[in-house]
């Protein structure tokens, strides 16, 4: 075992899969340039040295082109891992993802497979409105796309490997503050022991990140860590939070969530993605539709206000839900 950051775990997953299967390749902006960045977050750093520029394929700044070309290659049996730097840039590629990746199988009598992985960095990280958005709810709205959101290095490696092997288009969301960047004070250090040997985490299985009897907290990406931090503090007051990380939104592991709420009778969602039509609303609908009688308190969502992401640190802090917000809600519900 050795400690890896999320960026290192993602890189290792890519390299392992590329070594095992020559069909796997990376395509994106600034991913393999010598003396360059290894993608916007250093994830593909060094990979072109091992795999060459044919398989770590640098592109023009052309997100619709990247997505469309990756879809075409995937249809032919290649396994592209596409990268668009910041998730916010993926809006340029939406037609390709939504109208083609998600639908061509449906239109082809099931003859087409689109084994595409799209890596999409999301989340607020001090970079202002157009380099900050969370897009996981938005894309989870489209039938035909799988949605994966790893919150730890262990999950990032195991889930990405499964995503690469999946025959469907998989959108993999990575939070910018979880990569393990040094020199950004707002970044979280979530590095942890990650097995060197091969392992896979199946897409569609939630993880109970912390067991507790009092309230079920469901978080995703960075808010899983927010919930865990809050849980540590609340333990001192004798309140035990159960922290559930769905890890994938589509398909959603309903069973794990329902089981937890049956035990605790209470649920709070903490999400960085917008609340309106967001994934948390979906989870709460699930709970109220299926096990309403188990609830001892009204479900609650904590999330950002319905505004663009502001730049000023003081406003950004106000925008992003943190452990204080969560602890306040817990107090109200337990009160």
Partner 1 sequence: MIDKTKISPNKFIETYTTMVRIRQFEDRVYLLFLEGEMPGTIHLYQGQEAVAAAVCANLRREDLITSTHRPHGHAIAKGVSLRSLMAELFAKKTGCCEAKGGSMHMGDMDVGMLPAIAIVGGGIPVATGLALASKMMHSGKVAVSFFGDGATSEGAFHEAVNMGAIWNLPVVYVCENNLYGASTHQSKVMKIKNVAERASSYGIPGKVVDGNDVFSVYEVAKEAISRARKGKGPTLLECKTYRRGGHSRSDACRYRGKEEEKVWLAKDPIPQARKKLVQLGVLTEKKAKEIEEKVKKEIKDAIEYARRSPSPEPEDTLVNVFVGGEN
Query: Whole-angstrom Cα distance, residue 65 to residue 258?
Result: 41
| Residue 302: other Cβ atoms inside 10 A | 23
Asked if residue 258 binds partner 1 (CB under 8 A), the reply is no
**108 sits near partner 1 (criterion: CB under 8 A):** yes
- Pick the stretch among 93-101, 122-130, 150-158, 208-216 that binds partner 1 (CB under 8 A): 93-101
Q: Pairing between strand 146-148 and 170-175?
A: parallel
| From 6, 47, 75, 124, residue interacting with partner 1 (rule: CB under 8 A) | 75
Which DSSP helix (H) or strand (E) runs through 247? none
The total of other beta-carbon atoms located within 10 Å of residue 332's CB is 11
- C-beta closer to partner 1: residue 206 or 330: 206
Residue 80: both structure tokens together: 């592209």
Least distance CB 194 / partner 1 (angstroms): 27
Q: How far apart are CA 224 and CA 227, in angstroms?
A: 5
Applying CB under 8 A, the span of 34-42, 92-100, 194-202, 303-311 interacting with partner 1 comes to 92-100
Tell me if 34 sits within 8 A of 48, measured CB to CB: yes
Token duo for residue 198: 């091969």
Q: Among 144, 258, 281, 286, which residue interacts with partner 1 (rule: CB under 8 A)? A: 144
- 43, 74, 171, 231: which one binds partner 1 (CB under 8 A): 74
In this complex, which beta carbon is closest to partner 1, that of residue 206 or of residue 270? 206
Active site residue 131: yes
Site membership for partner 1, residue 335 (CB under 8 A): no
Residues 190 and 75: their CA atoms lie apart, in Å, by: 36
The residue among 35 and 110 lying less far from partner 1, judged by its C-beta, is 110
Set 131, 141, 175, 225: catalytic member:
131
The tokens describing 28, both together, are: 């994106």
What's the closest the beta carbon of residue 305 comes to partner 1, in angstroms?
Answer: 32
- Residue closer to partner 1 by CB (options 95, 193) is 95
Q: Which of residues 159-188 bind partner 1 (CB under 8 A)?
A: 166-168
Residue 6 binds partner 1, judged by CB under 8 A: no
CB atoms within 10 A of CB 258: 16
> Is residue 289 at the binding interface for partner 1, with CB under 8 A as the rule?
no
- Which stretches of 115-242 are DSSP H helices? 136-140, 153-165, 222-235
Q: In whole angstroms, how close is the CB of 288 to partner 1 at the nearest point?
A: 20
Q: What angle do CA 220, 164, 153 make, to 5 degrees?
A: 40
Q: State the residue for tokens 């592991």.
A: 253
Q: How far is the CB of 138 from partner 1 (least distance, A)?
A: 18
Within 268-287, which residues bind partner 1 (CB under 8 A)? Answer: none
Write out the binding residues for partner 1, residues 11-50 only, by CB under 8 A.
23, 25
Report the candidate in 90, 235, 240, 231 with the shortest Cα–Cα distance to residue 169.
Answer: 90
Radius of gyration of the chain (CA): 20
* Rounded-to-integer distance, Cα 108 and Cα 318, Å: 47
Which is nearer to partner 1, 25 or 154 (by Cβ)? 25
| Total chain residues near partner 1 (CB under 8 A) | 44
Residues that bind partner 1 (CB under 8 A): 23, 25, 54, 59-60, 62-65, 67-78, 92, 95-96, 99-100, 104-113, 143-144, 146, 166-168, 250-251
Residue numbers annotated as active site: 131
């Amino acid at each position: 075992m050795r400690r890896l950051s999320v960026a290192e775990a993602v890189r290792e997953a890519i390299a392992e899969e590329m070594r095992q299967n020559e069909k796997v390749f990376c395509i994106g902006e600034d991913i393999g340039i010598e003396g360059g960045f290894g993608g916007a977050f250093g994830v593909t750093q060094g990979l072109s040295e091992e795999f060459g520029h044919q398989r770590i394929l640098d592109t023009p700044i052309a997100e619709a082109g990247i997505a469309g070309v990756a879809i075409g290659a995937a249809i032919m049996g290649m396994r592209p891992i596409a990268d668009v730097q910041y998730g916010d840039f993926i809006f340029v590629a939406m037609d390709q993802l939504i109208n083609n990746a998600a639908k061509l199988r449906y239109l082809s009598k099931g003859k087409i497979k689109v084994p595409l992985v799209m890596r999409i960095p999301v989340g607020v990280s001090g970079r202002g409105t157009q380099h900050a958005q969370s897009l996981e709810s938005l894309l989870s709205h489209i039938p035909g796309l799988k949605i994966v959101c790893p919150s730890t290095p262990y999950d990032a490696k195991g889930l990405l490997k499964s995503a690469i092997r999946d025959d469907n288009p998989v959108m993999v969301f990575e939070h910018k503050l979880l990569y393990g960047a040094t020199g950004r004070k707002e970044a979280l250090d979530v590095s942890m022991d990650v097995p060197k040997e091969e392992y896979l985490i199946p897409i569609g299985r939630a993880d109970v990140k912390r067991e507790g009897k009092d309230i079920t907290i469901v978080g995703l990406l960075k808010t899983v860590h927010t919930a865990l931090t809050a849980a540590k503090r609340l333990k001192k007051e004798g309140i035990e939070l159960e922290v559930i990380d769905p890890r994938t939104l589509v398909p959603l592991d309903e069973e794990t969530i329902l089981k937890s709420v049956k035990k605790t009778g209470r649920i709070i969602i903490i999400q960085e993605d917008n609340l309106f039509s967001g994934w948390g609303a979906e989870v709460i609908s699930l709970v109220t539709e299926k096990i309403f009688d188990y609830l001892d308190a009204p479900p609650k969502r904590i999330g950002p206000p319905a505004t663009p992401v502001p730049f000023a640190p003081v406003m950004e802090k106000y925008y992003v839900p943190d452990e204080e917000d969560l602890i306040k809600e817990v107090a109200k519900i337990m009160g």
